[in-house]
Amino acid sequence: MTLFLALCLGIGLALGVGLRPFLPALLIGALARGDIGIDFNGTDLSFLEQPVFLLALLIGVIALIGAERRLGPDRVEAGPIGAAVGGIALGLGALYFAGALAEEDYSWWPGLIAGIAFAGLAAATARLFFRRTRARLDRDAAVALPVYAEAAGVVVAGLAILFPPLALVALAFLAWLLLGQRRREGQKYAGLRVLR
């Protein structure tokens, strides 16, 4: 694999776990464990496909779903649980980007920095998009939004493993979505200033 493909893979993995960390990470680890499109064995990051790490991710999925059902997605996202999940997403993005580089014998430490940046982009986009969408939906429909976020993360990570350049399409889409969300918020606040 060339450096370009390794970078594309790293971008896709970081974006996937940035959207929603645990389920996409479980998919990545399961595929790596089976050496399907990705393999962390023989690298400094081989723990990413070890059963103990995958079990920790599974516990994270269950805990997050339980918290969202008990407290509601809004309270989870705005509280300390949301901050912890965001931090985990950034950390996983860093590790998986680094792992994509290490898999191909490239220096992995720059992947830590890039992974944080791409996971952060995906997390910021998802947070803005789902907050705005949740505000327009009734309570029953809004409860399903985390499922869509999980599915989006799994699809992005899975497609990046199958065909790494598709990560660039996901990156462009998320950047476009984030810019659109910020522009709409800016217009809303500009309108409020005019009313004063």
- Number of C-beta neighbours around residue 172 at 10 A: 10
Token duo for residue 12: 């896709």
- Cβ neighbours for 115, distance < 8 A, ≥ 6 positions apart: 10, 13, 14, 90, 93, 94, 95, 96, 97, 98
pLDDT tens for residues 153-183? 999 999 999 999 999 999 999 999 999 887 8
Average of per-residue pLDDT across 29-51: 94
- Provide the pLDDT for residue 190: 54
Characterise 20 by phi-psi region: left (phi > 0), alpha (psi -120 to 50), beta (else). Answer: beta
- Provide the pLDDT for residue 134: 81
| 134 backbone dihedrals φ, ψ, rounded to 5° | -60, -35
The residue ranges of every structural domain in the chain are 3-195
- SS3 state of residue 118: helix
How many whole angstroms separate alpha carbon 39 and alpha carbon 32? 5
pLDDT tens for residues 98-149? 999 999 999 999 999 999 999 999 999 998 888 888 888 877 777 778 888 9
Nearest to 159 by CA among 1, 21, 28: 28
pLDDT tens for residues 74-89? 788 888 998 999 999 9
| Surface-to-core class of residue 159, CB atoms within 10 Å of its CB (0-12 exposed, 13-18 middle, 19+ buried) | middle
pLDDT tens for residues 91-112? 999 999 999 999 999 999 999 9
pLDDT beyond 60 at 192:
no
Split at pLDDT 50, 70, 90, the class of 61 is very high
Token duo for residue 154: 């799994």
Token duo for residue 111: 């992947």
